[in-house]
Structure 1
Amino acid sequence: MRQRTLDIAVVRGDVDAPRGARTLHLFDEPPIAVRSEHCDLTRLGRLDWADVRDWPLVVNTVSGTTGPWSWPADQRPERIIETANYDERLETVAAGRGIGIVPEVAQRRTQHPAVRFIPLTNAPASPVSLVHFPDDQRTLIRRFLDAAVQTAPE
């Protein structure tokens, strides 16, 4: 977006939009925990957001929406394991090195035999938005924006 090589972008989490760009909030998506199939969380049916700090947290530093910044400084997970992309985070979790916090859509899209998803309670939702430049209001972009607003969950 900053180099203007994209017409529109779907962004999860807080948006640091380029100057002159507009942000269109579509919906808020709840996060879900992902853990190894061998993790002790297997016996629990859910995990409370406040209890995430008791587990090593695997974060995607490039495009993840959850990280140490997601908690007040005195409530952050003590151990953070950094990865550079979604696949690396997933493999790190599958290896049992920690848990991850991912958008709920990941549960529907991820097929990995060694990971399981567990609902989070009391977790803040992550905004999903579209970012575009208003001067690029070509017909196709306008149609895309209209369709996105009409189909966004409420």
Structure 2
Amino acid sequence: MSDLDLRKLRYFLAIVDGGTFSRAAETLHIAQPVLSRQLRSLEKELGAILFERSSRGTELTAAGTALVDDARGLLASSVAFQRRARVHGRGEARFTIAFMPGVIVTGMARELSARFSGTRVEVLRSSWEDQVEVVRDGRADVSIVRLPVPRRGLRVVPMASEPRLVALPVGHPLARRPALRVADLVDLELLQDVDAVPEWRDAAERLRVNGLADRPIDLPMPTTVEEKLEYVAAGVGIAILPESAANFYTRPDVAYCRVTDLAPSDIALVCEVGRKSEIIDAAIELALDTAGVVVGDAG
């Protein structure tokens, strides 16, 4: 028997979770033909057909259904193995703080370095896709995240809140206003998951139910801030960013405006529930010292 390729198992589960090959390919950031080839290769290696395609869509076969839980277990075990290896590889003399773009962790890193002089404090830039995974897989000891995040197995320590701004093309008429409301934006295309901006989603759905707004245009969903801002600058749509991220991603063809009825973006520290150490306790203490702080002023 050949060695099992865990990457192909990931692809298999992406199709299960996404429901279609196209959604899975978009989530994995690969072309759909590549995904199809990898799935066929996995089926050949396993000697079993995992999916049936029909006019009703993509459906798991009996064999595929039977293997879903086993696949999840294998991937979870591989992640746990990597995490233990990375934690032991770093040793007690290194401590890593992950952070999202726009979030500044210099103060925490400096304070921990001063308190634990024998430990080298390092930082790691994370993203929306892996801001929690860097803790789960052992790349970081703590992570400064933007909520919401999946909380299973994690301790979440609220730290701060900050305003959220809308990114518009510099020449857009709305960009000249001192402040906006969500209702001003619902006719524009939102270039991110609508569930991440429930205020926009709810307002847009009300208009569309009443026939007062068109349905969204069909385009690949941007996965990074850089991609979103390229579309914004081209006049395709808008993006909502926390103020610190907007300050981080400044560019001459994009303007940021205050939106008065958007809920703030919350920042928190996360770490594994079961991991205990003096330096993790100290990081939590520093996070608690900032709890309730309002970052920046969008006015």
- 1: distance between equivalents of 2:244 and 2:286? 19
Unaligned runs of 5+ in 1: 60-66
Q: 2:181 aligns with which of 34, 37, 48?
A: 48
User: Alignment partner of 1:28: what SS?
Assistant: strand
- 2: distance between equivalents of 1:4 and 1:86? 25
Q: Percent identity?
A: 29
Q: 2:169 aligns with which of 11, 31, 36?
A: 36
- Say whether residues 1:68 and 2:202 are aligned partners: no
User: Alignment partner of 1:101: what SS?
Assistant: strand
- 2: distance between equivalents of 1:6 and 1:106? 21
The alignment yields a C-alpha RMSD, in angstroms, of: 2.2
- 1: distance between equivalents of 2:153 and 2:236? 41
The aligned length equals 146
Residue 216 of structure 2: aligned partner: 79
- 1: distance between equivalents of 2:270 and 2:242? 19
**Higher mean C-alpha displacement, 82-91 vs 20-29:** 20-29
Which protein has the larger Cα radius of gyration, Structure 1 or Structure 2?
Answer: 2
Q: Is the 8 A contact 2:155 2:272 kept in 1?
A: yes
**Bigger RCO of structures 1 and 2 (CA < 8 A, at least 6 apart):** 1
Residues 76/4 of structure 1: CA separation in 2 closer, same or farther (3 Å cut): farther
Residues 47/85 of structure 1: CA separation in 2 closer, same or farther (3 Å cut): same
Compare the two structures and name the one with the higher strand fraction: 1
**Higher mean C-alpha displacement, 4-13 vs 110-119:** 4-13
Residues 51/129 of structure 1: CA separation in 2 closer, same or farther (3 Å cut): same
- 1: distance between equivalents of 2:250 and 2:165? 15
Q: Normalization by structure 2: what TM-score? A: 0.44
Q: Is the 8 A contact 1:68 1:76 kept in 2?
A: no
- 2: distance between equivalents of 1:12 and 1:76? 24
Unaligned runs of 5+ in 2: 1-134, 206-214, 295-299
- 1: distance between equivalents of 2:198 and 2:183? 9
- 2: distance between equivalents of 1:128 and 1:93? 25
Q: Normalization by structure 1: what TM-score? A: 0.81
Residue 9 of structure 1: aligned partner: 143
Q: Is the 8 A contact 1:27 1:128 kept in 2?
A: yes
Residues 13/134 of structure 1: CA separation in 2 closer, same or farther (3 Å cut): closer
Shift of the alpha carbon at 1:74? 4.9
1:121-145 deviation digits (Å, cap 9, x = unpaired)? 1111222111111332222222222
Q: Is the 8 A contact 1:58 1:100 kept in 2?
A: yes
Q: Is the 8 A contact 1:34 1:116 kept in 2?
A: yes
User: Alignment partner of 1:92: what SS?
Assistant: helix
